Amino acid sequence: MKEKPPSFYKIKEVDSLEILSLVDNSIELFCLSERIEVKTFRNWKQKRFLKKGIIEHTNLPLAEHGFSMFIRVIRRGKLHNILFDTGSTSKVILENIELMDIQTNKIECIILSHGHYDHSGGLLYLIEAIHKIDLPVILHEDMFKTRGVIKSDGTIRRYPEFPIKKSSRFAKLIITKKPSLFLDNMLLITGEIPRETNFEKGYQQHRILKNGLWQPDVEILDDRALIINLKNKGLVIFSGCAHSGIINTLKYAIKITGISKIYAVIGGFHLSGKNTEQRIKKTIQEIQSINPEIIIATHCTGWQAKCKMANLMPKKFVWNSVGNLYKL
């Protein structure tokens, strides 16, 4: 697949961003950075519940294999709240939203990076919690397809079905394939990302059900990224898993915006596991060439890739945690 954009997409500058890590694979209360303002969001609501006759207290969020970011966009004094991905389960994201005191009625739209369960599992419950008529939910048509992964014995582990159908109460589903601007042109969804590097080959074990048969699902065309243009700094790019390749993602963002400066890249890079770790060295070399100021690698990036990035780019790399609050 190769797409040539007809012209640059005119994405408006925003004055600042606040990004709160709602769901990720781990929690660490001391993720600090000299490079940017990053805090562990400590103002948790204290909860108390009864379990087998024992009063327990909790004031810490939960982690799981999944991903979600709450993003606050500030432009000309106005605040806009969006969700990028919704984690694996309703339990974790709803619990964290409550603990972090996020007002769901202020969320203006939900953007999904792709349809896998660890990014869409909380979607239905969030739509119900936000409870707005025609809440924009930005999708790709392939997200509704049945997916899975082939195991070493040749059997298929079927992923949970996508949680909503093509019509949903309260949600206004916006299905896009091409680059699309939203929220008064402050958000740019990449649409399908061309696969152009010679080393980002996808995850060979992914499968998709077509005509009753499990077939390879290496490309995962519904994989998209979110682009925001931060005033005087450059592009901030959010990926979910970067199944299309994080380098393909960054280069495509430059191509469709005409903006060569990438300030921050945030999200999963999918460099974990024996089939993808061979790409770590080349990926890091390409990231160094692109030269973003901030790298916040999350979720599926993998500990080997994260450790190497932290070692090779110590002033740029930030180890993400559930509850990290970034102010850009």
- pLDDT interval class at 164 (50, 70, 90): confident
Domain of 176, CATH number, reads 3.60.15.10
Q: Is residue 240 part of a domain?
A: yes
Average pLDDT of the residues in 38-55? 56
In a domain, residue 2? The reply is no
Residues spanned by the domain of 130? 13-45+59-327
pLDDT score recorded for residue 4: 47
Q: Compute CA distances 151 → 34, 267, 272, 326, whole Å.
A: 42, 26, 16, 38
Q: Does 5 fall in a domain?
A: no
CA 197 to mean position of chain CA atoms: 21
pLDDT in tens, 63-119: 999 999 999 999 999 999 999 999 999 999 999 998 888 999 999 999 999 999 999
Task: Determine, yes or no, domain membership for 53.
Answer: no
Domain total in the chain: 1
| Residue 19 domain-assigned (yes or no) | yes
pLDDT reported for residue 50: 53
> What is the SS3 string spanning the chain?
CCCCCCCCCCCCEECEEEEEEEECCCCCCCCCCCCCEEEECCCCCCEEEEECCEEEEECCCCCCCCCEEEEEEEECCEEEEEEECCCCCHHHHHHHHHHCCCCHHHEEEEECCCCCHHHHCCHHHHHHHHCCCCEEEEECHHHHCCEEEECCCCCEEECCCCCCCCCECCEEEEECCCCEEECCCCEEECCCCCCCCCCCCCCCCEEEEECCEEEECCCCCCCCEEEEEECCCEEEEEECCCCCCHHHHHHHHHHHHCCCCEEEEEEECCCCCCCCHHHHHHHHHHHHHHCCCEEEEEHHHCHHHHHHHHHHCCCCEEECCCCEEEEC
Mean pLDDT of 258-287: 93
- Asked if residue 185 belongs to a domain, the reply is yes
Q: Report if residue 321 sits inside a domain.
A: yes
Is residue 1 very low, low, confident or very high in pLDDT (cuts 50, 70, 90)?
A: very low
Q: Give domain status of residue 237, yes or no.
A: yes
Span 273-300, average pLDDT: 93
